[in-house]
């Protein structure tokens, strides 16, 4: 560290983690490709498809239903029901 004439204090800090859930990059269960942060993500919650994104819900891909790209889910299981 370069001395700029000011006192510098450094304390050891531990950053809590989610026990590994966030360490894995989520991959689509159908195609195996990475699901991007902004991409629509479909996961199963109590057996029903739920659409979100990693940005909106960072833990969604860690749910038991796995994760799919929206297009991959629709190719495998049919079109998602829209609530518009």
Q: Is the pLDDT of residue 43 over 80?
A: yes
What is the sign of the dihedral through the CA atoms of 32, 38, 42 and 46? positive
pLDDT tens digits along 51-67: 999 888 888 877 777 89
Mean pLDDT of 61-76: 87
Compute how many other C-beta atoms are within 10 angstroms of the C-beta atom of residue 79: 9
Determine the Cα–Cα distance for residues 44 and 2; give it in Å rounded to an integer.
52
pLDDT for the residue numbered 42: 93
pLDDT for the residue numbered 5: 53
Question: Please, are residues 78 and 42 in contact by the beta-carbon 8 Å criterion?
Answer: no
Q: What pTM was estimated for this model as a whole? A: 0.66
Looking at per-residue pLDDT, the higher value among 21 and 80 belongs to 80
What is the sign of the dihedral through the CA atoms of 46, 51, 56 and 61? positive
Looking at per-residue pLDDT, the higher value among 75 and 46 belongs to 75
Query: What are the sequence ranges of the domains in the chain?
Result: 19-84
pLDDT for the residue numbered 15: 44
Determine the Cα–Cα distance for residues 26 and 33; give it in Å rounded to an integer.
8
């Amino acid at each position: 560290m370069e001395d700029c004439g000011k006192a510098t204090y450094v304390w050891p800090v531990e950053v809590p983690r989610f026990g590994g859930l966030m360490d894995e990059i989520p991959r689509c269960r159908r195609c195996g490709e990475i699901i991007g942060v902004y991409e629509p993500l479909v996961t199963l919650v109590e057996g029903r498809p739920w659409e979100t994104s990693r940005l909106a819900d960072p833990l969604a891909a860690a749910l038991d239903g796995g994760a799919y790209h929206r297009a991959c889910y629709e190719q495998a299981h049919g079109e998602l029901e829209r609530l518009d």
